[in-house]
Amino acid sequence: MRTALAVSVLAVGASAAAASGGKKSPLIHTGVLGDFLRESILLSRDLTLYTASTAASTAWGVVPPEHQKLISEQYQTVSDQFETLRLQNGIVTPAAAFSEATEAYNSKVYPVLARAYEVVTKAAEKPFTLLKSFIANFEKAYPDHAGLLSSISIWDLLLTLFFIVYFVLGYTKKAICYVICCGACRKRASAALKPQLVKKGAAPPIKANGVGSKKR
């Protein structure tokens, strides 16, 4: 999951850089990421529907005509029964339910989120001013990275820092732990498995449960 998300975020950054004509733009920003996620969801939905429709059409083509007629009649009967049940119980269609949910989100949820966004952004203005100064000094010291860290939006900067900490540093930590810690653990485990020599007449070795082997 982490690898797939990292690849997705890298693809977003690459597309943003390509769209800017090679000029360095913010490494990641919320606008492009939001568009990427939305288009990915819509593409996945339509591709799944098209694949299922194509597979069903191909399978339907090999069904004998008499069986096609029987299946069509049974399907129509079940559809009519389901429609009657839906109308009797006042169940809305999936399209109507989606439309109502979208309207409720736009009228009730979105204004609250927009207001919260404005409040948090305004509250972060002072600390963000210090971050802008820090970013400007960093870009002067390392001009090769100028423009990669966004100094326009606090949300873009937080998204970039999240990517760096969660993915880059996370994978780096895993690599270091695998090379150093896991290697040391393997050496200790192999040393513990070495056979122990028991001298003649000495007491038998103690087992893991604390009971020694009995003589026959």
pLDDT at 20: 47
Q: What is the residue type of 39? A: E
Residue 54 lies in a domain: yes
Name the nearest CA neighbour of 29 among 155, 166, 169, 161.
155
Helices (H), 30-178: 30-61, 65-88, 94-104, 110-123, 125-141, 154-163, 170-176
In which domain, by residue range, is 57 found? 25-91
At residue 136 the predicted structure's pLDDT band, cuts being 50, 70 and 90, is: confident
Residue 189 lies in a domain: no
Whether the CB-CB separation of 28 and 160 falls below 8 Å is answered with yes
Supply angle C-alpha 68, 71, 75, rounded to 5.
Answer: 135
Residue 130 lies in a domain: no
Name the nearest CA neighbour of 148 among 36, 6, 14, 2.
14
Residue 133 lies in a domain: no
Residue 152 lies in a domain: no
**Tally of domains in the chain:** 1
pTM, rounded to two decimals: 0.45
Whether the CB-CB separation of 33 and 12 falls below 8 Å is answered with yes
Q: What is the residue type of 156? A: D
**Which residues, other chains included, contact 204 with Cβ-Cβ below 8 Å and sequence gap of 6+?**
198, 212, 213
Q: What is the pLDDT of residues 32-81, one digit of tens each?
A: 777 777 788 888 888 888 999 999 999 988 999 989 899 999 999 999 99
Residue 67 lies in a domain: yes
pLDDT at 21: 45
- Rounded mean pLDDT of the chain? 76
Q: Which residue has the tokens 């979208």?
A: 102
Instruction: Answer yes or no: is pLDDT of 19 > 60.
Output: no
The torsion of the CA quartet 142, 144, 147, 148, rounded to 10 degrees, works out to -90
Residue 199 lies in a domain: no
Residue 71 lies in a domain: yes
Q: What is the pLDDT of residues 90-131, one digit of tens each?
A: 888 888 888 899 899 899 998 998 898 888 888 888 888 888
Highest mean pLDDT among 108-112, 173-177, 195-199, 212-216: 108-112
For residue 206, which phi and psi values (nearest 5 degrees)?
-85, 130
Rounded CA-CA distance 116/124 in Å is 12
